[in-house]
Structure 1
Amino acid sequence: MLLVPGDPLRPRRPDEHFAPEAQAAREAGWVVAVVDHDALERGDGAERAVASVPSGGTAIYRGWMLGSGRYARLTHVLAQRGVTVRTTAEQYRRAHELPEWYPALAGVTPRSAWTTSADRADFDQARLTLGAGPAVVRDHVKSMKHYWDEAAFIADLGDRDAAWKVASRLRQLRDDDFVGGFVLREFESFTSAEVRTWWVDGRCVLIGPHPDTPHDQPPGELDLGWLRPLIGELDLPFVTADLALRADGVWRLVEVGDGQVSDRPITIEPAAIIAALVGGSG
């Protein structure tokens, strides 16, 4: 069964953004059900959010990003209806939050340090852990890269006040969506658009562009031998891994995400996602 967010104005229909995947799933013989994303986000309407989901079976969610706590609540109320979500709440958090996936992938991704609060003292400790030099700041799940100069890029961690100014702006922009604490990542210069790779049960099932650059197709031959055992070590059912080519010609891991809430670039057919999920689980 595929679960997708309902349209806010027509709640029995899939949200327009996910309707193509819902249609592809139906054509592939899946049951499709809608959930009320807004009710999930409010935190007090999870039971109402899944009211139209049929009882029993196994489900995969394809929808808007949920905080780990909200996702855990979703899995709980679905379980009360006899529905097992393929990705458990613990697995979702392990893919969704950088401090959870970073230890297994530290050797292939920019060096990072993080806090568990938004306090300046904790931020300064993380800053000193990385040492001087350029860095990128984000929270445990998301950056504000579209506000690069004011809320993402830190020119020199050695300049404590300038670094804190950028971090504070990130915190302000993320507002209630700020998760966990600050993450500081050592800056690496990339020369390619990001490539989004999709993995099911530790096997790469799809390679395509990143949603931000949907027309920048990845290289025809991309060797993922260096990444495969590391993704396998995460032991997660459905994840994405975003890659970029560093200036020295080495492919690097930029981000890991839970595949259920990873956006599909417009240049990948919706049926390809459904087929990848079916093929990867076989």
Structure 2
Amino acid sequence: MLLIVPADPMRPRRADEHFAAEAAAAREAGVEVAVIDHDALAGGGDPDQAVARVPASTDAVYRGWMLPAAGYGAMAAALGRREVSLRTGADDYRTAHELPGWYAALESVTPETVWTAGDAREDFDRACERLGGGAAVLRDYTKSAKHHWHEAAYVPDLTDGEAAWRVASRLRELRGGDFAGGFVVRRFERLTGTEVRTWWVAGECRLTGAHPDTPGAVCVPDLTAVTPLVAALGLPFVTVDLALREDGEWRVVELGDGQVSDRPAEISAETLVAALLAG
């Protein structure tokens, strides 16, 4: 396995500080590590130049900052020209990274959801009508603005079109150039406790830990209903965030690509690298 991480912007031959522990753990385990220029990829720079320090490999895994699906695709293509095969190809990354890619497979274990293509008001209104009345949570294809809960995430009643659009407009404003795909409208479900982040390699849950937003809060979810659904997606490396609904059922809050999911402090860099090697 080859581990690819972002370079430190000030010391471009070294790993970015946020991923330095994982790079060190990989080297200790005998895994080669290469760095890329993430800022160039994210900013529309030359992808071939951005990956120029990466050697050929038949099994490469990226652990780094989030990239839009198009940016990841450009990186994968540039790496391919260097005879580097990413374990997670561009199509698999989009499936995991954008909610419309994974929703159908996990529909039975996640809140009812509709979405738009783009940010037009009329499309948003139609999406709200399809979901019906009641409370909802808004996001785009890749991320919410949950830290601005009442102004840019939570809609108390979808039948109040003007109020819903104010929340959607604020979400769009906050996401700015990072707004991805369109508006996603999710049925609000009352959850208890905190989220748990699970890590899956080759369809098998390898690690369970706290969600990065709630460090230290760890419990073991019941994955009976979730496991066959995640395995059926056939994705190489993903995270699944879960929370307990007030009726006692575990619900999927989010599925994401494991390469760009933040690692909580409770999971060591050595443990994560070992899980990737085992997969």
TM-score by length of 2: 0.98
Q: Which residue of structure 2 aligns with residue 225 of structure 1?
A: 224
Q: Which residue of structure 2 aligns with residue 105 of structure 1?
A: 106
Supply the distance in 1 between the matched residues of 2:203 and 2:58 (Cα, whole angstroms): 23
Q: Which residue of structure 1 aligns with residue 164 of structure 2?
A: 163
Report if aligned partners of 2:115, 2:183 keep a CA contact under 8 Å in 1. yes
Q: Which residue of structure 1 aligns with residue 116 of structure 2?
A: 115
Supply the distance in 2 between the matched residues of 1:264 and 1:103 (Cα, whole angstroms): 26
Supply the distance in 2 between the matched residues of 1:173 and 1:100 (Cα, whole angstroms): 23
Shift of 1:57: 3.3
Q: Which residue of structure 2 aligns with residue 269 of structure 1?
A: 268
Alignment of 1:78-227 (within 5 A): 78-219=79-220, 222-227=221-226
- Indicate the SS of the match to 1:11: coil
Structure 1 alignment gaps of length 5 or more: none
Percentage of identical aligned residues: 58
Equivalenced residue count is 278
Q: Which amino acid aligns with 1:248?
A: D
Supply the distance in 2 between the matched residues of 1:83 and 1:91 (Cα, whole angstroms): 16
- Indicate the SS of the match to 2:193: coil
Supply the distance in 1 between the matched residues of 2:225 and 2:193 (Cα, whole angstroms): 18
Shift of 1:56: 3.5
Shift of 1:224: 1.1
- Indicate the SS of the match to 1:162: helix
Shift of 1:58: 2.0
Report if aligned partners of 2:69, 2:97 keep a CA contact under 8 Å in 1. yes
Supply the distance in 2 between the matched residues of 1:106 and 1:49 (Cα, whole angstroms): 37
Q: Which residue of structure 1 aligns with residue 252 of structure 2?
A: 253
Supply the distance in 1 between the matched residues of 2:177 and 2:229 (Cα, whole angstroms): 33
Supply the distance in 2 between the matched residues of 1:23 and 1:125 (Cα, whole angstroms): 50
Report if aligned partners of 2:22, 2:273 keep a CA contact under 8 Å in 1. yes
Q: Per-residue displacement from partner, 1:81-130 (whole Å, max 9, x unpaired)? A: 11100001000000010011000110100000000010000000000011
Alignment of 1:50-61 (within 5 A): 50-61=51-62
Supply the distance in 2 between the matched residues of 1:276 and 1:55 (Cα, whole angstroms): 22
- Indicate the SS of the match to 2:208: strand
Supply the distance in 2 between the matched residues of 1:226 and 1:104 (Cα, whole angstroms): 12
Structure 2 alignment gaps of length 5 or more: none
Q: Per-residue displacement from partner, 1:172-193 (whole Å, max 9, x unpaired)? A: 0000000000000000011111
Q: Per-residue displacement from partner, 1:145-169 (whole Å, max 9, x unpaired)? A: 0110110001110100000000000
> 1:119/1:223 Cα in 2 relative to 1: closer, same or farther (>3 Å)?
same
Report if aligned partners of 2:76, 2:89 keep a CA contact under 8 Å in 1. yes
Supply the distance in 2 between the matched residues of 1:67 and 1:138 (Cα, whole angstroms): 15
Q: Which amino acid aligns with 1:7?
A: D
Q: Which amino acid aligns with 2:139?
A: R
Report if aligned partners of 2:222, 2:250 keep a CA contact under 8 Å in 1. no
Provide the aligned C-alpha RMSD in A. 0.8
Supply the distance in 2 between the matched residues of 1:277 and 1:125 (Cα, whole angstroms): 42
Q: Which residue of structure 1 aligns with residue 15 of structure 2?
A: 14
